[in-house]
């Protein structure tokens, strides 16, 4: 599967992103969400950051799936989610099942 990178500014709060793409005349809509998770929000701040991320993700909205964990800073880690129905669509597109 080919990739297109779209820079998204690091703004506080959730960023809901809707992308409509046309590939070979076929339009598809994909839904992403980028959210900044702040280290200070960890339930137990003394634990390592990987465990902190795991705990924060375990409570996340079930309609969204983890897509990408960005480069962490000293204050936060940006995490990208994809709408669950869009994952199946992406797989079908990648396998050429949708023409």
Domain region containing 76: 15-94
CB neighbour list of residue 41: distance below 8 Å, 6 or more residues apart: 56
- Specify if 63 maps to a domain: yes
Lowest mean pLDDT among 22-31, 35-44, 85-94: 85-94
- Specify if 57 maps to a domain: yes
Model confidence pTM above 0.95: no
- Specify if 2 maps to a domain: no
Of 16, 93, 28, 33, the C-alpha closest to 68 is 33
For CA atoms 81, 86, 87, 93, the dihedral sign is negative
Residue 21 has pLDDT above 70, yes or no: yes
- Specify if 54 maps to a domain: yes
pLDDT at residue 55 in the model = 86
Of 54, 11, 57, 68, the C-alpha closest to 36 is 11
DSSP 8-state symbol, 43:
S
Q: How many domains does the chain have?
A: 1
50-77 confidence digits (pLDDT tens): 888 888 898 888 999 998 998 998 888 8
Helix (H, G, I), strand (E, B) or coil at 84: helix
């Amino acid at each position: 599967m080919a990739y297109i990178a779209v820079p998204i500014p690091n703004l506080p709060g959730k960023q809901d992103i809707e992308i409509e793409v046309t590939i070979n005349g076929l339009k598809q809509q994909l839904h992403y969400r980028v959210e900044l998770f702040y280290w200070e929000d960890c339930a137990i701040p003394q634990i390592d950051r990987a465990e902190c991320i795991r705990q924060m993700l375990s409570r996340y909205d079930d309609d969204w799936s983890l897509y990408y964990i960005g480069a962490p800073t000293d204050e936060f880690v940006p995490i990208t989610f994809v709408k669950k129905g869009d994952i199946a669509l992406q797989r079908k597109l990648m396998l050429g099942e949708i023409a």
